[in-house]
Amino acid sequence: MIIRIMGAGQYKVDSCLLDELNVIDNRIVELVSKGKGDEYRKELARMISKVKESGEPLDPASILKSDVIIPPEDLTLEEARRVFSGYGLIGD
């Protein structure tokens, strides 16, 4: 599975990481809907860290189709409301 972190490249990750990322994604959707900006940013940072820790960075010269695109860590709460709604990034 290929995950792109906007502004930080693409990572190849094992699909078993998807369940863990989905839990974080659902938490972010909940926090964003409640307007909890600080908590949402911590969870987004945790999601990005999980991908970077567990994934293998891909060569920036080769751009592959991403299965999931994670926004950058500096995404504002207002921007997050457009991205993290409904089922979030990953869906169920």
Nearest to 29, CA basis, from 90, 4, 50: 90
The residues spanned by each domain of the chain are: 2-83
Nearest to 83, CA basis, from 29, 31, 42, 44: 29
pLDDT digits (tens, 9 = 90+) for 4-49: 999 999 999 998 898 899 999 999 999 999 999 999 999 999 999 9
Question: Is residue 91 over pLDDT 70?
Answer: no
* Token pair listed for 57: 């960075």
Could you tell me the sign of the dihedral formed by the alpha carbons of 21, 49, 83, 62, in that order? negative
Amino acid at 23: V
Nearest to 49, CA basis, from 88, 17, 91: 17
Residues 56-81, mean pLDDT to the nearest whole number:
91
